[in-house]
Structure formats: C-alpha cells, structure tokens
C-alpha cells in the first residue's frame, strides 16, 4: 500500500498545480521524439469520452487507434482484469494457464481458424505470420520459397521485417539495410500481382481494408481472385486484420463479410480491449509447420490480457452487438456523405462498419484533426489528405450525430482558413 501511495504522490506532483506543465517538460526532454504529439494531456476515459488534465471532455473517434473497441474503462473488462490480477499475473509459456487456453478455443472458433499463436502487438503478429508462411512453404515446396508480396499503401508494422513489408517509403527511410524477401504490388489488379510474383514467392499479405494507408477497402472480387491465384500457384494468403479485426467492420473479422478465407490471419489492436495482445491464426495444416522452439514470446498470451480478451470476445459476439455496429456504421457512412455534399474540398468517403476515411482535396487532414480537437472531438489522419474515424463500437446514434456536426464545422473552418491564407 505504501508504494502505491508514493506512486500516486509522484503522479499528482507531475500533474501538479500548473495543470500538467511538468508532464510536458518531462515528455519533451526525456521521451524519444518518435511521435508528433498533439497538445493534449489525458487523465481518464469512460465509454466514448476522455477528459484532459484541465477537466475538458472530448468525444473519442480514435479509440486509441482502433484499440479501445468497447470504449474506455468498460466495467466488464475492469472486472475481468481485476479478477485475474488477484490470482495470477504472469508465469511463462512453459506452463499452461486457463485464460490463454480458453481464449485460444473461443478465438479460433470466432475467427473460423484452427490454431493460434499469441504475442503482444500487430507487428509481432505479422512477424509470426511471415515466419510461419516461410517455414510452411519451404517444407512443402522447397528452400527457395520465402518471398512475400505486399501492396502499395500497405501498413504492416514497425519492426524491420514488417517495416519492409510496409510498402510506403516514408516509413522505411533511414533504416537500411532492410531485410530481403519482400516485393511490392503496385495496384489491386491481377496484372500487377502477376508482374510481382516469382518462383520464390511463398505468400501474399494484404489488409482487406487498408488502414494507415488511407482507409482503402480492397474489392472483394480482387480478394477472391487472390484466393484462387494463391491456390493455383501454391501460395499462402495472409490477411492482416490488425486494424479491421475484432468487430471493427461490423463482423468479427472483415473477411467474414465477403467470405474469402485466408490461410493465415493476424489480429491485435482491439482484441485486448486496450491491453496489449497480438494473435496469428492459421489453418491446421499451415500451423503444423511450427514445432517447439520454432517461435515464442515471453509475454504472449499473458493471463491478465488473455482474460480481458476473452471478455472482449464475449461482448462483441453477444447477439445484436455486431448488428448494431453495422447499423451505426451505416449511420456514420451516410452522415459523412451528407457532410461531404455540404462542405468544400471532400473528394471521397470510404469505409465499412465503424472504420471511415474522409479524403480531402488538399493535404489538410492534420489541420482538420486540430480543428476537431478544439471543438471537443478526437479524430485521426490516414496519410496527409485523409481524416480517419474509428469510434468505439459502443458509440451511440446521438454521439455519431454530434461528431458529424463537429467534423463538418472543422472541415469548413480549415477550408475557409485555406481560402484566406
Ligand atoms: C497498427 C497496425 C499494425 C501494427 O500494429 P502494432 O501493434 O503497432 O505493432 C499492423 N498492421 C496493421 C493493419 C495495423 O493497422
């Protein structure tokens, strides 16, 4: 108890009288500058709202980048975490724990896959997918196999392999030499895939809806073509559902809405409701390529996180939940089209479920984010010209209406500012 109080006193001192000034100093002088942070210090959250250090409330249409799918501090997730915190926090994957085993059972069932490997993030889930695809195809088709095709505008993570899989030069600059074994497909067309594929290719990795790259849904027809092409050529199809998974698109996984089944699918972000978890799911045949020692993770499948993820699964898969996500998604999509018709400079509205992008004629997305924040609404960008909306899946109809009104005002303000500039 004494230590808890010491930590609380330290935190209170840091957040002190000047309303968080010391936190800003500590952050700016001691944390590496990998983030272009906004001037906003958050102290608590509840449902679809967060509060800053001055006590102002914000409507959160970011969900911490698609992570807090059930909103902030969901009482059932708190109860699940708390229960597990009092029994066992961590051991190691050399022993069995019930939360991990139960999560494996429920998650594979919900995802219509056979087996799962647990890790702690999206990049790690994709690393595991890359390793698994190579191990399987080398054994099945020969040691020359190993190259993976990914698509322009993709985002697969920040580790060296997933950074190389990410076909966007801006993320790769200055980090060479990059590992080999990746080739980029320049368009979502059969011709572009045929041009990139070689005898060494072992898998094709794709986000069914590209997230960071601009909220770009990939046509289901093309994904079906990819499935057939992979079958014909002996390639594995990997879906990166790190952002689209766990209910975001109105289905547990995006591919459930168009029925093209991958050999491997990766998840992370919303799966732990705000706690770190990653999962690589595969068919029985492919998963069999991993034997003891082939891969591992110290924290992967941690009992506290697994227990919370189990609760996330229960809630998202309860009758009516995903149906409501689809309804709210339609409301948001329709509302964005109405906004687009009434404000200048919106060139496209794209998305599915509760994942939407509003593309502007100019690279002004960051300024729209700022104008939204001033009005009490938090939104994201996806590239310089696209505003991205990822509200929690528990968002209400009234909250969506509020956000639409604020977003419309913000876009107008930026457009007016640009005219006057
Ligand atoms: C966020 C994201 C990742 C990386 O996840 P991290 O948890 O940040 O490592 C990978 N793929 C997609 C599609 C993502 O949206």
Q: Chain-centre distance of CA 243, in angstroms?
A: 3
- Measured from CB, residues less than 6 Å from any atom of ligand 1 are 121-123, 126, 155-157, 207, 211-212, 240, 242-243, 268-269
The pLDDT assigned to 419 comes to: 72
211 CA to middle of ligand 1, Å? 9
Fold of 32-61+320-406: 3.90.1150
Q: Are strands 346-352 and 355-360 parallel, antiparallel or unpaired?
A: antiparallel
Number of DSSP helices (H) and strands (E) in the chain, helices first:
15, 17
Tens digits of residue pLDDT in 284-314:
999 999 999 999 999 999 999 999 999 999 9
Place of tokens 């109405």: 338
Half-sphere exposure of 189 (CA within 13 A, CB side): 5
Per-position DSSP letters for 204-234, written without gaps between them: EEE-SEESTTT-EEPPHHHHHHHHHHHHHHT
Give me the mean pLDDT over the 379-406 stretch: 98
65 CA to middle of ligand 1, Å? 9
* Segments making up each domain of the chain, as ranges: 32-61+320-406, 76-316
In whole angstroms, what is the distance from residue 293 CA to residue 18 CA? 52
The pLDDT assigned to 210 comes to: 98
First to last CA, the chain: 57
Tens digits of residue pLDDT in 14-36:
655 577 889 999 999 999 999 99
299's tokens: 């924290």
Q: Are strands 57-60 and 49-52 parallel, antiparallel or unpaired?
A: antiparallel
Give the predicted TM-score (pTM) of the model.
Answer: 0.96
Q: Which atom of ligand 1 is nearest to 158's Cα?
A: 9
Band (6; pLDDT cuts 50, 70, 90): low
377 CA to middle of ligand 1, Å? 23
Tens digits of residue pLDDT in 64-116:
999 999 999 999 999 999 999 999 999 999 999 999 999 999 999 999 999 99
The pLDDT assigned to 418 comes to: 74
Pocket test for ligand 1, best of 150, 215, 238, 242 (most atoms within 8 A of CB): 242
User: In whole angstroms, how far apart are CA 266 and each of 31, 112, 351, 400?
Assistant: 30, 13, 20, 29
Contact 59, 399 (CB under 8 A): yes
The pLDDT assigned to 1 comes to: 45
Band (151; pLDDT cuts 50, 70, 90): very high
CATH class as words, domain 76-316: alpha beta
What percent of the chain shows pLDDT beyond 90? 93
341, pLDDT greater than 50: yes
Tens digits of residue pLDDT in 231-249:
999 999 999 999 999 999 9
The pLDDT assigned to 197 comes to: 98
| Active site positions, annotated | 155, 240, 269
169, pLDDT greater than 70: yes
Band (13; pLDDT cuts 50, 70, 90): low
229, pLDDT greater than 50: yes
In whole angstroms, what is the distance from residue 161 CA to residue 159 CA? 6
Tens digits of residue pLDDT in 72-85:
999 999 999 999 99
Residue 406: exposure state from Cβ atoms within 10 A (0-12, 13-18, ≥19): buried
**Residue 115: Cβ within 10 Å count:** 16
Q: Helices in 142-180 by DSSP H: which ranges? A: 160-165, 169-172
Place of tokens 């998963």: 287
148's tokens: 């993976």
């Amino acid at each position: 108890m004494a230590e808890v109080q010491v930590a609380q006193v330290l935190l209170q001192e840091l957040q002190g009288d000047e309303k968080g000034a010391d936190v800003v100093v500590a952050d700016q002088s001691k944390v590496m500058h990998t983030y272009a942070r906004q001037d906003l210090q958050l102290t608590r959250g509840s449902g679809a709202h967060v509060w800053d250090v001055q006590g102002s409330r914000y409507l959160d249409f970011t969900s911490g980048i698609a992570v807090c799918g059930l909103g902030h501090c969901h009482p059932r997730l708190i109860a699940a975490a708390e229960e597990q915190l009092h029994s066992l926090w961590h051991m190691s994957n050399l022993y069995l724990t019930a939360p991990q085993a139960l999560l494996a059972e429920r998650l594979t069932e919900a995802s219509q896959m056979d087996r799962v490997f647990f890790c702690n993030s999206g990049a790690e889930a994709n690393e595991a997918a890359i390793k698994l695809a190579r191990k399987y195809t080398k054994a099945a088709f020969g040691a020359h196999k190993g190259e993976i095709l990914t698509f322009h505008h993709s985002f697969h993570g920040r580790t060296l392999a997933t950074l190389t899989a990410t076909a966007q030069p801006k993320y790769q600059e200055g980090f060479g030499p990059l590992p080999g074994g990746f080739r980029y497909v320049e368009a979502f067309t059969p011709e572009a895939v045929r041009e990139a594929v070689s005898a060494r290719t072992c898998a094709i990795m794709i986000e069914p809806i590209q997230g960071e790259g601009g909220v770009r849904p990939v046509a289901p027809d093309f994904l079906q073509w990819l499935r057939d092409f992979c079958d014909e050529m002996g390639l594995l199809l990997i879906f990166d559902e790190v952002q689209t998974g766990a209910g975001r698109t109105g289905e547990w996984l995006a591919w459930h809405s168009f029925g093209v089944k991958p050999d491997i699918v990766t998840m992370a972000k919303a799966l732990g409701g705000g706690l770190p978890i990653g999962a690589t799911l595969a068919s029985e045949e492919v998963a069999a390529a991993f034997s003891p020692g082939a891969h591992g993770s110290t924290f992967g499948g941690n009992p506290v996180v697994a227990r919370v993820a189990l609760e996330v699964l229960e809630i998202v898969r309860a009758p009516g939940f995903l149906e409501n996500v689809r309804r709210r998604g339609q409301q948001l999509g329709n509302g964005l089209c109405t906004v687009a018709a009434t404000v200048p400079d919106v060139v496209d509205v794209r998305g599915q479920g509760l994942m939407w992008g509003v593309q502007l004629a100019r690279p002004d997305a960051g300024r729209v984010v700022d104008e939204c924040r001033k009005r009490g609404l938090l939104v994201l960008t996806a590239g310089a010209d696209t505003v991205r909306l990822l509200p929690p899946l528990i968002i209400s109809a009234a909250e969506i209406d509020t956000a639409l009104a604020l977003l419309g005002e913000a876009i107008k303000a930026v457009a007016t500012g640009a005219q006057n500039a």
